[in-house]
Structure 1
Amino acid sequence: MATLLRGEVRAILQPAGTAQYKGAYCPPGVPFREVRRGPLDGKSDIAVRPDADGELPRVLPFGGGQIAYEYDGRDKQGRAVYRYAPRLSPAHREVMNGVAEVYAEHELKQARGGRP
């Protein structure tokens, strides 16, 4: 668990909520539930620092800005909750195309009777 410096707040990363995934890219053949999943979901050893006005950052970028999580309030333990934001994540389309490939391979295996 991250050591907090003065003023910092613990944070947790969660899957996208409706506000974050509505209108996000989802390739054909992939269940829309896959859009909600972010690559860092569940990570809880994060600390965020409020700005000079005391507000927490609206967006947390990861991976050189390729993955974004959006602030969505606090949980019962007082942690800042950040939800995966596929529409704000430049890598989302590429990740979803990879997911589509996995689904297509699975469908092909099923059509062959489970043989590779």
Structure 2
Amino acid sequence: MVTLLRGEAPVILQPAGHAQYAGAYCPPGVPFKEVRRGPFDGKSDIVVRLGVDGEVPKLMTFGGGAVVYEHDGRDKKGRVVYRYAPKLSSGHRGLMDGVAEVYAEHARNQAKERSR
């Protein structure tokens, strides 16, 4: 559990929802469900500073802005929810190309196993 200071709220990072992933890049051979996955999903040891009006920032960025999470309300525990935003993340294409390589390697290994 993170220690909160006045004006801070706990955060949970989640996979993209439909609003965030619709139309996002997905290479051939990769199931579209992989587009939803962000590199920091599940992270909950961070906080966000509330604005003077009590609002939270609309976006949270990591890696110099290469990975973007978008505000999406609060969960039942009162944590601020941010969802991975692949369309806003400049690093998304590279991430997905890496996922495509893993899927292709797995397919090659499966083909080798069947040919034995």
Matched, 1:77 2:80: no
> How many residues in Structure 1 have an aligned counterpart in Structure 2?
115
Q: Hey, what does 1:57 align to over in structure 2?
A: 57
User: Which consecutive residues of structure 1, in runs of 5 or more, have no partner in the other structure?
Assistant: none
Partner SS state of residue 60, structure 1:
strand
The alignment-based identity, stated in percent, is: 69
Alpha-carbon offset, residue 46 of structure 1: 1.0
1:40-93, CA deviations, whole angstroms, 9 ceiling, x for partnerless residues? 000001110112222100000011111111000000111000001101111000
* Partner amino acid, structure 2, of 1:86: P
User: Greater helix share, 1 or 2?
Assistant: 2
Q: Hey, what does 2:40 align to over in structure 1?
A: 40
Cα 1:52/1:114, change in 2 over 3 Å = farther
* Partner amino acid, structure 2, of 1:48: V
Superposition misfits of 4+ residues, deviation over 4 angstroms: none
TM-align CA RMSD: 1.2
User: Which consecutive residues of structure 2, in runs of 5 or more, have no partner in the other structure?
Assistant: none
* Partner amino acid, structure 1, of 2:59: V
Alpha-carbon distance in structure 2 between the residues aligned to 1:109 and 1:18: 33
Partner SS state of residue 112, structure 1:
helix
Deviates more, 1:67-76 or 1:47-56: 47-56
Q: Hey, what does 2:18 align to over in structure 1?
A: 18
Alpha-carbon distance in structure 1 between the residues aligned to 2:60 and 2:110: 39
Alpha-carbon offset, residue 39 of structure 1: 0.5
Q: TM-score normalised to the size of structure 1? A: 0.94
Alpha-carbon offset, residue 114 of structure 1: 6.1
